[in-house]
Amino acid sequence: MVDAVAARREALVSLTSELVAFDTVTHTPGAPPRQERALQEHLAELLRRHGADVVLHEPDASALRPHAMVPAELTFEGRPQLVARFRGGGGGRTLLLNGHVDVVDVEPRANWTLVDPFAATVHDGRLYGRGTCDMKGGVASMVVAACTLAALGVPLAGDLIVNTVTEEESTGAGGLFAARLLQADAAIVPEPSSLAVWVACRGSLLPRITVHGRAGHAGIAPLPPEQGGAVNAIEKMTVVLAAIERLRAHWSLRPPHRYLSPGDCVPTIITGGEWLVSYPAVCALECHIEYLPDRADEHGYGSAVEREFEQWIAEAAAGDPWLRDHPPEIAWGAGGVPPAQVATDDPIVQALVEAGLDLGQPHHLGGLDNWHDGATLTVEAGIPAVCFGPGDIHRAHTADEYVPIDDLVACAQRIALTAMRFCNGTA
């Protein structure tokens, strides 16, 4: 069976290239669809030819609200979600293969020096193009693995589900719909892990902190604030920035996670000021928080981290006379996603590790410092979901993005072998 996958090397490269050619650049809520439907229909046709029962869903986003992953403007119109089921004979375990088909923007396009980002090109054993690494290459590997098993007539006791979603690079709502729709005993998400098995990931939160000052003429020495004088909101934001820096240091001293970096809060956008000759009346700071699985609340999300962050900023503000009376405002943006962790002795972890050993592939365990749809499957649906995929995560979102072709083949082989063993195990 693994030889049959290897024999499909050119077909695997061809499928990845076909997927890259579809413009599925991620979007902001309310933007029109691109070629998501065309890509999903392309995959649907291939999977149907190999005997899968395929359904394309355009979910009603309102049915998923309220949820941090589902902004008010979000719609799935023109962006269907694909579910293809290879039905087993019965009595086995169901395995879900999940991947996203949206990609990040190619701009600045001038930085692509080797290829047109939507025209995949082979060079020195690598396949270049937008999404080759993150994660159309992984999607192609899981699809070829499933189709090879079907073409060979390999008997499976449990179902094998192929699920491709949109929205991963923007909101996570596609994975949320999958978690609400599907049931499985385990899931593999072939994000680029360099063929390691990632059993954990951090969660994310997106706070926006607004500090209010008081406008005044910048060319005139201000009166004291208590006499109505100007207060520089940008300067007052430094109190918040210093508090965040102390919080980052505090988080770095917590007991380390075996597979993940410590929790962190990275300031990412700052805006302030209204006019060149005026004291700025408002300054806003946006941050990206990453937090560990042990900091999740009873629902699997970051409410406890939100409270800690708010308290930390409030205590810092209390030490400043102006901010004590005009405390910073904190709003939590849409897009907060959960952390997750799967036990290392879980059957899907053991199956992937054992298959790696048998194939002579890397088989070590690790974690993703960011987030992936598998975390949503784990937290929302109780499906143990791990990452295992081709390519180096450091090539994701870059110009001249690429994936080693050998990785595509190795990934497809290992998913096929794992699926055969897992689905034929007892539930």
Task: Tell me the per-residue pLDDT of 312-351, one tens digit each, with 9 for 90 and over.
Answer: 999 999 999 999 999 999 999 988 999 999 999 999 999 9
**What is the CATH number for 63?**
3.40.630.10
Count of CB atoms situated within 10 Å of the CB of 228: 11
Q: Which of 287, 310, 332 is the last residue of a domain?
A: 332
Q: Are residues 211 and 198 in the same domain?
A: no
Q: Are residues 30 and 133 in the same domain?
A: yes
Domains: count for the chain: 2
426 band by pLDDT with thresholds 50, 70 and 90: low
**What is the CATH number for 256?**
3.30.70.360
Q: Which of 297, 312, 332 is the last residue of a domain?
A: 332
Average pLDDT over residues 184-209: 98
Q: Are residues 266 and 342 in the same domain?
A: no
Q: Residue 426: beta bridge partners? A: 92
Write the pLDDT tens digit of every residue in 118-141.
Answer: 999 999 999 999 999 999 999 999
- The answer to whether the beta carbons of residues 101 and 36 sit under 8 Å apart is yes
CA distance linking residue 55 with residue 163, whole number of Å: 10
- Which DSSP letter does residue 168 get? T
Q: Are residues 38 and 106 in the same domain?
A: yes
Write the pLDDT tens digit of every residue in 60-113.
Answer: 999 999 998 999 889 999 999 999 999 999 999 999 999 999 999 999 999 999
pLDDT score at 249? 98
Q: Are residues 269 and 380 in the same domain?
A: no
Write the pLDDT tens digit of every residue in 36-61.
Answer: 999 999 999 999 999 999 999 999 99
CA distance linking residue 15 with residue 199, whole number of Å: 28
Q: Are residues 230 and 326 in the same domain?
A: yes
Write the pLDDT tens digit of every residue in 350-407.
Answer: 999 999 999 999 889 999 999 999 999 999 999 999 999 999 999 999 999 999 999 9
Residue-range definition of the domain harbouring residue 42: 2-202+338-423
User: Nearest Cα to 140, choosing from 47, 55, 52?
Assistant: 47
* Res. 427: pLDDT tops 60: no
0.75 cut: is pTM over it? Answer: yes
Sign of CA dihedral 216, 221, 225, 227: negative
CA distance linking residue 81 with residue 167, whole number of Å: 10
Q: What is the mean pLDDT of the chain?
A: 96
- The answer to whether the beta carbons of residues 393 and 137 sit under 8 Å apart is no
Q: Are residues 96 and 172 in the same domain?
A: yes
3-state secondary structure of 101: coil
Q: Are residues 226 and 320 in the same domain?
A: yes
Q: Are residues 310 and 393 in the same domain?
A: no
Q: Are residues 101 and 195 in the same domain?
A: yes
Task: Give φ, ψ of 367 to 5 degrees.
Answer: -150, 160
Q: Which of 304, 332, 360 is the last residue of a domain?
A: 332
Q: Are residues 188 and 225 in the same domain?
A: no
Q: Report CA 253 to chain centroid distance, whole Å.
A: 26
Non-local (6+) Cβ contacts of 325 within 8 A are none
Q: Are residues 102 and 129 in the same domain?
A: yes
- The answer to whether the beta carbons of residues 183 and 381 sit under 8 Å apart is yes
